[in-house]
Structure 1
Amino acid sequence: MEERKTLTTKDGYPIADNQNSLTAGARGPVVMHDFHLSEKLAHFNRERIPERVVHAKGAGALGTFTVTKDITQYTKAKLFSEVGKQTPVLARFSTVGGEKGSADAERDPRGFAVKFYTEEGNWDMVGNNTPVFFIRDPLKFPDFIHTQKRCPANNLKDPYMRWDYWSQSPEALHQVTILYSDRGIPKTHRHMNGYGSHTYSLINEDNQRVWVKFHFKTVQGIQNLTETEAAKIKAQNSDHATEDLWDAIKESDYPRWRFCIQVMTEEQAKTHPDNPFDLTKVWKHADYPLIEVGILELNRNPDNYFAQIEQAAFSPSAIVPGIDFSPDKTLLARVASYNDAHRYRLGTNYQQLPVNLPQCPFATYQRDGAMAYGDNGGSTLNYEPNSDPNAPKPSTDYQEPPLPLGNVAVDRYDHHEGNDEYSQTGDLYRLLDEDAKQRLVDNIVGSLGQVPEEIQLRQLCHFFRADTDYGMRIARGLGIKIDPSMLPKELQELKA
């Protein structure tokens, strides 16, 4: 027989009575030191976290992604490394404009987000059920979303706001047409496609890049609701799509999507009739046919909605080696913006929550902040570069080709290249009088003398490059005899 569990406080104190508060007498007031009552009420007051600004109403499930076709000619990402390989996933579907308690059957784009828990880190494919969007410049996003929310005067949804905005934003017409077409109200989350919408890039083992579009084609088939059907469903069950997803998985009718890509070479992009990185445009399938990659299957419902779905944080910045960005302006803004939203909604350490935690080894120098889990890095260093041979270090194995942006390329340029780090320091040293020079040297020796000789020698090289006398004085102060082999090459003629 299973041992009966005893109710406790969050600190582990056993509770004898969970029905009656501590009071001064049977009819007296509640006393201040009833910590069990205080804990329950304080936690209750904080149970609701801020809802997502967009995509607040959503449902999700867990499952697997299985590779069915070889695309290693395009990408070195290990989740695609061999046919038959499986990767665990978490998917979330949502409406865009509605609040957390809004209806599933609204005429609205649907969010389609998938978190792949790969051996190289988490890859978040954060898209919609449409291949395009209303804007192509991220500066317009807050204004657009305001038109989809509530009127600041009366707190009502207002057709004037959205049509006033759209009538002055012609780039939105493509998405507006999709929104008001038959596909504007998907029947359920299972009966719609998903798209990365943006242009991304894939990079192979030879560091060659191609541009790609991501597509998830529903195996269940496209099914939609008319306005009349949607109105009837909303009156009966505002959570119909959430319930449908849960019930289908519970009954082992697992929803599936074919994951496909479109591929465009860099040369093709140069002569493409439209801007291939424009979020309001598609690539014609006749020119860039779909290439099947694998099957996404959702086969497990969450054990706890809040922990696994509400706290799930998807961001385009979560990529893995072999998958990268493009010059799509809106995508690049999302890369920065989504993390900021999660830190506001969930907290600084949102990536440490179990649902967001990579299921592979990882190492950072980030420490502290609210809700830091585990040992917070223990006694290890929290900065880099450092001299600890066992500490995490960058690896050039993961260097990817520069991202071309017109006449320039985005890359991690060496900020030392072409810069003289020493001349002005030497000029400053030589301006000092003898007493000031000696005080400077004494101050440095007093501090530098407290660290290992390995670091002293490395730092001495910098002082010597600035001024030979500067380096010699500090060396003598540290008791280090200068061997020419210790010096920078250009100073090795110097004798001790």
Structure 2
Amino acid sequence: MTQEAHVSVQSSTGPLTTEAGAPVADNQNSETAGIGGPGLIQDQLLMEKLAHFNRERIPERVVHARGAGAYGTFTVTADVTRYTRAKFLSEVGKQTETFLRFSTVAGNLGSADAVRDPRGFALKFYTEEGNYDLVGNNTPVFFIKDAIKFPDFIHTQKRDPYTGSQEADNVWDFWGLSPESTHQVTWLFGDRGIPASYRHMDGFGSHTYQWNNEAGEVFWVKYHFKTDQGIKCLTQPEADKLAGEDPDSHQRDLRESIERGEFPSWTVQVQIMPAADAATYRFNPFDLTKVWPHADYPPIEIGKLELNRNPENVFAEVEQSIFSPHHFVPGIGPSPDKMLQGRLFAYGDAHRYRVGINADHLPVNRPHATEARSHGRDGALYDGRHGGAKNYEPNSFGGPVETGRAMWQPIAVSGTTGESEAPSHAEDNDYVQAGNLYRLMTEEEKERLVGNLAGFISKVSRDDIAQRAIENFRKADPDYGKRLEAAVQALRG
């Protein structure tokens, strides 16, 4: 809908009123004690407008604050009923409404879009069995493998408590001391580190998830969303220029492409691993810092995702949208991925703090293809939807009851409790996949990767921090480390 259309809709709905519905006589002048006199506290409209203005923002997300979103449809293109009993995947041709929020990770709400940063790829499926949220990124891996390190990692990416700025010392000190980050850092500083737009990048579920079928068989899966627009990225100089000239470049591109009827789409694929393979696979398949090689588990196309409708109100539908990886549906569940396990709690908790305990009642967040029937009541902005119905279970008054069937299959566990690393596999190595990625690159891609890394590492104030960071890349590939060391030395003089 155009801006002109919005104006005409607003002007045709009757007189301006207060929030309580009383008509407003004058919205241009506040009440005063005589002409030119002081203002009056009895001016209901003035008090209401100023009070609302002071409260019309909610805390921004600590991570993924800067984002844009759109509605769309997911269409099943292949039969996957042998792997999962999820109803929205039950037949070829079936369509499900979706909402997708893109975002950067480290920047705040007022930051620019065209920056070197991972992109969030958070997708909500409004299924007939409830909402299914798939919370991923535009990279198939991440910097760390255990959620207990997540607050520390994000603190290094955010503003330093003393300087108030992002500091290269903090970033490279943490990455150098966390060699598991070497793979993701190689992704981030390579050619795909700055997408040209949200439409021109791939998306990934990143984590490993469980699928289970009607017979109770378990499969581990990874999701891939391959852009149908083709991959397009920015060089660092191009991004620096665009970020300064048009901080809203990615948001504007997404909105305007949909307004033009050029609906962006992605081909949806999954990698599927039989549950029995996990224990003996050559590396931990639940490690978020690693990919499953396609030669081992080839991606299988299962559907098509298209975005075709813009939000009417960015605050209501994008800023207040909530996603939680704990929002599963029957036939899909979690895995022992330790990053995923932490996010199962953290995402929902963040939204209860930011938006409120009844955030799930907002139109963008509530189920669209079914009805939520819970015993949750009251709290801020509760809309009274339950009427006088009983708020406990079991009860004798006809309320909703449990199904008796779990959404996912149980996972066998053994041993004692305690802080522990994941079980060891033959190739559980922090450097192998980063080296593999480097060796896949062309000579020109390697030069740009090394240049991007060197430009950032050269800003580090201490030689030991810079050298430790370089050594991680040297362990991934000797040539990688040698080139990077020379480039950093050249820049540091």
TM-score range, shorter chain: 0.7 to 0.9
Unaligned runs of 5+ in 2: 1-7, 418-493
Aligned to 2:379: 369
Aligned to 2:108: 99
The answer to whether structure 1 residue 381 and structure 2 residue 385 are counterparts is no
The answer to whether structure 1 residue 401 and structure 2 residue 409 are counterparts is yes
Deviation at 1:329, TM superposition (A): 1.0
**In structure 1, which of residues 392, 402, 405 is the aligned counterpart of residue 400 of structure 2?**
392
Q: Partner letter of residue 329 of structure 2?
A: V
Q: Report 1:129-278 matches (<5 A).
A: 129-278=138-287
Q: Call closer, same or farther: CA 1:4–1:324 in 2, change over 3 Å.
A: closer
CA contact (8 A) 1:327 1:404 kept: no
Q: What's the secondary structure of 1:297's corresponding residue? A: strand
CA contact (8 A) 2:333 2:407 kept: no
User: Once the two structures are superposed, what CA deviation does each residue of 1:54-103 show, in whole Å capped at 9, x if it has no partner?
Assistant: 00111111110011111011011011111111101110111000011111
User: Once the two structures are superposed, what CA deviation does each residue of 1:313-352 show, in whole Å capped at 9, x if it has no partner?
Assistant: 0110111111100001110110111111001110111000
CA contact (8 A) 2:210 2:408 kept: no
Unaligned runs of 5+ in 1: 410-496
Q: Partner letter of residue 102 of structure 2?
A: F
Q: What's the secondary structure of 1:9's corresponding residue? A: coil
User: Once the two structures are superposed, what CA deviation does each residue of 1:390-433 show, in whole Å capped at 9, x if it has no partner?
Assistant: 11111124464212345699xxxxxxxxxxxxxxxxxxxxxxxx
Q: What's the secondary structure of 2:412's corresponding residue? A: strand
Q: What's the secondary structure of 2:30's corresponding residue? A: coil
In 1, the alpha carbon distance for the partners of 2:407 and 2:319 equals 34
Q: Call closer, same or farther: CA 1:260–1:399 in 2, change over 3 Å.
A: closer
Q: What's the secondary structure of 2:222's corresponding residue? A: strand
Moved over 3 A (4+): 1-4, 397-400, 405-409
TM-score when normalising by structure 1: 0.80
CA RMSD of aligned residues (A): 1.5
CA contact (8 A) 1:367 1:376 kept: no
Deviation at 1:235, TM superposition (A): 2.0
Q: Partner letter of residue 331 of structure 1?
A: L
In 1, the alpha carbon distance for the partners of 2:281 and 2:375 equals 43
Q: What's the secondary structure of 1:93's corresponding residue? A: strand
**In structure 2, which of residues 12, 15, 30 is the aligned counterpart of residue 6 of structure 1?**
15
CA contact (8 A) 1:327 1:405 kept: no
Q: What's the secondary structure of 1:403's corresponding residue? A: coil
**In structure 2, which of residues 113, 119, 130 is the aligned counterpart of residue 121 of structure 1?**
130
Structure of larger gyration radius:
1
CA contact (8 A) 2:269 2:299 kept: yes
Q: Partner letter of residue 29 of structure 1?
A: P
CA contact (8 A) 2:209 2:332 kept: yes
Q: Partner letter of residue 356 of structure 1?
A: N
Q: Partner letter of residue 228 of structure 1?
A: P
Deviation at 1:362, TM superposition (A): 2.1
In 1, the alpha carbon distance for the partners of 2:119 and 2:159 equals 19
User: Once the two structures are superposed, what CA deviation does each residue of 1:451-478 show, in whole Å capped at 9, x if it has no partner?
Assistant: xxxxxxxxxxxxxxxxxxxxxxxxxxxx
Aligned to 1:454: none
TM-score when normalising by structure 2: 0.81
Identical positions, percent = 57
In 2, the alpha carbon distance for the partners of 1:89 and 1:408 equals 42
User: Once the two structures are superposed, what CA deviation does each residue of 1:344-393 show, in whole Å capped at 9, x if it has no partner?
Assistant: 110111000111001212210110100101x24211111122233x1111
Aligned to 1:354: 363
CA contact (8 A) 2:332 2:407 kept: no
Q: What's the secondary structure of 2:377's corresponding residue? A: coil
CA contact (8 A) 1:66 1:85 kept: yes
Aligned to 1:484: none
Q: What's the secondary structure of 1:370's corresponding residue? A: coil
Aligned residues: 407
CA contact (8 A) 2:331 2:407 kept: no
